[in-house]
Amino acid sequence: MMTEKNKPWSVLLAALVFSLICASSVWAEEDGEMADPFEGKPPIADQLKQFSNEIAKRVHQELQELLDNEMKVLQEERKRNRYTAEERIAKQEGIIKDDPKNAQAYLVLGEAYDEMRAGANAIVHTQIAEQLFKEQENRIGLAKSRRNLRMYYEKYEYRKEDFLLN
């Protein structure tokens, strides 16, 4: 079964098989003498070069089509699931207003601020999430918040000491 993902490989395999056939049957016996099957045709090297160029073009075209299709799928998926960072911030702040101990809301709020390139806000809210996850003994949330904090410190060139919570 040929799928879009393995189409380029099948073209490459066909090129390899053709090359092997050409290489193995360059000379064929005819009446006890060796006859040149390429007599009157361009030399085999030129034919193989032309063939490999054709294959390269085809593989490039197939890969480009595959990448274009994948890009369209990703763009459509992003449009379907897309909230602006401002909308996510407003939503998470509403959740926090109703439940100030909601660590997940702080974590998502930090991620939204990161998307807006507001590093200090991202760090502060993620630190709050880290503290709440620690109090709630949520190891998965704690690990994710710590991973995000390491990333934010590096990305925005801050140090942990720049943001001490009391």
Half-sphere exposure (CA, 13 Å, Cβ side) for 156? 23
Rounded distance between C-alpha atoms, residue 5 and residue 104, angstroms: 37
Q: In the chain, what are the domain boundaries?
A: 7-80, 85-162
Half-sphere exposure (CA, 13 Å, Cβ side) for 131? 12
Please report which confidence band the pLDDT of residue 74 belongs to, taking 50, 70 and 90 as the band edges: confident
108-142 residues labelled b (16+ CB within 10 A) or e (exposed)? bbbbbbbeeebbebbbbbbbbbbebbeeeebeebb
Contact at 8 Å (CB) between 98 and 43? Answer: no
Contact at 8 Å (CB) between 2 and 13? Answer: no
53-82 residues labelled b (16+ CB within 10 A) or e (exposed)? eebeebbeebeeeeeeeeeeeeeeeeeeee
Using DSSP's 3-state secondary structure scheme, residue 42 falls into: coil
Using DSSP's 3-state secondary structure scheme, residue 38 falls into: coil
More confident residue, 76 or 145: 145
Half-sphere exposure (CA, 13 Å, Cβ side) for 54? 12
Q: At residue 55, does pLDDT exceed 50?
A: yes
Question: Whose structure tokens read 């880290």?
Answer: 130
Report the pLDDT value the prediction gives residue 27, as an integer from 0 to 100: 47
Average confidence score pLDDT of the chain: 81
Fold of 85-162: 1.25.40
Candidate ranges 8-12, 35-39, 80-84, 145-149; pick with highest mean pLDDT:
145-149
Contact at 8 Å (CB) between 94 and 84? Answer: no
User: What pTM does this model have?
Assistant: 0.52
